Amino acid sequence: MRREHSGACVPLRCSSLPLGCPSPLRSRKEGRAPSHPSPLCPESQPTTSDETVVTGGTVVLKCQVEDPDDSSLQWSNPAQQTLYFGEKRALRDNRIQLEKSTPNELTISISDVVLSDEGEYTCSLFTMPVRTAKALVTVLGVPQKPQIFGHEQPIDEEKLARLTCRSSGSKPAAQLRWRKGNKELKGGCPNPCTEVVEDPNGKTFTVSSRVEFRVTKEDNEAEVTCTVDHESLQNAERSTTQKLQVHYKPTAKIEPHPQYPREGEKLQLQCDGQGNPIPQEFLWEKEGSDAPLQLSSDSVLIFPFLNKSDSGTYVCTATSSMGSVVAKYNLDVSDASPVPSTSSTYHAVIGGVVAVIVFLLLSLLIVLGHYLIRHKGTYLTHEAKGSDDAPDADTAIINAEGGQAGGDDKKEYFI
């Protein structure tokens, strides 16, 4: 934030007048009324602006004048100590540096600003009389990260949760807001109720906010967030999140393993207890039986070898510090499943092998028969050889014998 200021004439002596300003006496001698006293020579008035800075930051103070009239500019702090006179350093503080020094401007900077740097700084133009302009420097105290109290111990279901959020070091006082999960916790005092206390340094403030709300088991492990809002954070969120621990009554259900028990098998009944805290004691009973079956921290009831007589309703009572809960299971033992013998298994294997062999033999016979059928037409008897040109069977036989003899003669000829 910046606000500009024009300076004012500050007389050094009663007879002193600003340079270049008309004298009232001379005006009367000339028969003219004196000029209006404010402002005197506005063109020679120094101008400054108010500045706001965060602790640890840097502030720049600029003093300008349009017509310096060969006069010097000077910056002084709220304690009226001279910081710079023109380009000359007057106060030995390495945080204060000269940024620009001309006849028309004197600009300095202060780094690592602290709260004590706040106040009115004065820019002086050494004319006759001296003209000054003020610059108000406002230092913002940055709030510390908020802390949440009241969540250290678990909260019982349906009871009130009372939480406090606190942040110190803010200037001006910061604002605190609450959120549970994605839902904002709203309400006027006392829900939430905000308290502002001044810190021992007399400059910053500690802000506390209290909130109350009734919890359910769904709030277990829920995140509660406290956020501090302050102009020094420049829209950056600074917050703290804590998880709630809610104690609630247990729940239970019975799970069988295996799911469909048969006679002669092993059975385990698992009493699955849930809650916060988790149940630590399990009581097993059978309806119609006087004595309990089992009381321990073990949630499993084991039947090594089921019998038909084990059928019935079994009750598990799970207990925690928040109370007890009862779960029931109706056990119906089925008949034993038939167990295949070793001999029948052996016979099944032998039968499978024989079937494969028979299938292979049949496949071989089919392939062989197909082959013989395709080559049957290539075989010719003697009668067939002579029947090509014979008109009857007798002639065919004679032709076949003659053909054979001719063939033998032919073979003898070549030999």
Q: What is the 3-state secondary structure (H, E, C) of 219-244?
A: HCCCEEEEEEECHHHCCCCEEEEEEC
pLDDT band of 114, cuts 50, 70, 90: very high
pLDDT at position 34: 33
Cβ contacts of 42 within 8 Å, gap of 6 or more: 6
pLDDT at 176: 94
Report, as an integer, the average pLDDT of 272-298.
93
Structure confidence at residue 68 (pLDDT): 74
- Whether the Cβ atoms of residue 177 and residue 148 lie closer than 8 Å to each other: no
CA distance 136 to 134: 7
Within 8 A by CB and 6+ apart from 401, the residues are 382, 386
Residue 347 banded pLDDT, cuts 50, 70, 90: confident
pLDDT at 31: 33
The answer to whether 388 and 380 are in contact (CB under 8 A) is: no
φ, ψ (nearest 5 deg) of residue 57 = -90, -165
The rounded radius of gyration (Å) of the Cα atoms in the chain is 56
Q: How much is the average pLDDT of 91-114?
A: 95
Predicted confidence at residue 341, as pLDDT, reads 45
Maximum mean pLDDT: which of 5-9, 213-217, 333-337: 213-217
Comparing CA positions, the residue from 44, 45, 78 lying closest to residue 61 is 78
Q: How far apart are the first and last CA of the chain?
A: 136
Q: Is the pLDDT of residue 134 over 50?
A: yes
Average pLDDT over residues 46-63: 96
* Alpha carbons 395 and 386: distance in angstroms, whole number: 8
More confident residue, 347 or 412: 347
Its sign, for the CA torsion 8, 11, 12, 17, is positive
Judged against a pLDDT cut of 80, whether residue 80 lies above it is answered with yes
* Per-residue confidence (pLDDT) for residue 399, from 0 to 100: 60
% of the chain with per-residue pLDDT over 90: 59
CA distance linking residue 123 with residue 130, whole number of Å: 10
Mean pLDDT of the chain: 81
Confidence grade of residue 180 (pLDDT, cut at 50, 70, 90): very high
The mean pLDDT of 86-102, rounded to a whole number, is 94
Residue 41 reports pLDDT greater than 60? no
Confidence tier at 226 by pLDDT (50, 70, 90): very high
Can you tell me which residue has the tokens 């090594």? 304
- pLDDT for position 5: 58
**What's the length of the chain?**
415
pLDDT score for 44: 78
Count CA within 13 A, CB hemisphere, residue 377.
1
Classify burial at 170, counting beta carbons within 10 Å of its beta carbon; exposed 0-12, middle 13-18, buried 19 or more: buried
Query: Which candidate, 176, 223, 221, 226, places its Cα nearest to that of 196?
Result: 176
SS3 (DSSP) at 246: strand
**8 Å CB contact between 247 and 158:** no
